[in-house]
A and B are shown apart, each in its own frame.
Chain A
């Protein structure tokens, strides 16, 4: 039973347009969420986080939105660049727990 779901295995977007990656979770106790980006043959790298006391966090081209009632978060990348092509993982944790649960990932391809 997956607690963190990323229902789109892949997404293709034109360069300069907005990329929207979605993540849904089932555990209502999750209160800290992160997005990681992963290039081939490298480890995941941290991108952006959000805690449940907020509904939006922004860092440059990257914005994460959290809808607690829907148990849904999304990552917006605008404008998208070819270098953004990677696999994006959503992760969630409960309280100060260390057990981050990862989603299966979404492969983003930004086409020039």
Chain B
């Protein structure tokens, strides 16, 4: 059974460019989460969806960040325009309803030059 799939694994781009990160959750999972990991702040939740609907986006750092989930099998996290301080590893995770653990993808390492 495939796990959470994220693409790309690595992204290097110049400041000011638009960046789109992609995530395919585990089939049947109805929650999807986007996290960012940095040395300074550790692993922090950016936004999560339930049944494709955004529930809590209070962790999204600013308006340059947006996330969508057009269907149950796909989500995107977009940064426009990107800045060097956005450099981090971005993780997507999904889970079933209830007290179930989240399953993480392998992350996208983003470097903004």
Q: Is the CB of A41 within 8 A of B102?
A: no
Q: A43-B4, A43-B91 are in contact. Are A100 and B102 (CB under 8 A)?
A: yes
Q: Which of B41-49, B65-73, B77-85 contacts A (4 or more CB under 8 A)?
A: B41-49
The tally of CB-CB contacts under 8 A between chains A and B is 48
Q: A98-B48, A99-B48 are in contact. Are A46 and B102 (CB under 8 A)?
A: yes
Q: Interface residue count for A (Cβ, 8 Å)?
A: 21
Q: Is the interface of B mostly helix, strand, loop or mixed?
A: strand
A101 and B52 CA atoms in complex are apart in Å by 22
Q: Is the CB of A43 within 8 A of B107?
A: yes
What is the distance, in angstroms, from B21's C-beta to the closest C-beta of chain A? 13
A46 and B4 CA atoms in complex are apart in Å by 13
Q: Whose C-beta in chain B lies nearest to the C-beta of A44?
A: B104
Q: Is the CB of A105 within 8 A of B106?
A: no
Spell out B's residues near A (CB within 8 Å): 4, 31, 33, 42-45, 48, 50, 55-56, 91, 93, 98-99, 101-107
Spell out A's residues near B (CB within 8 Å): 32, 34, 36, 41-46, 49, 51, 89, 96, 98-105
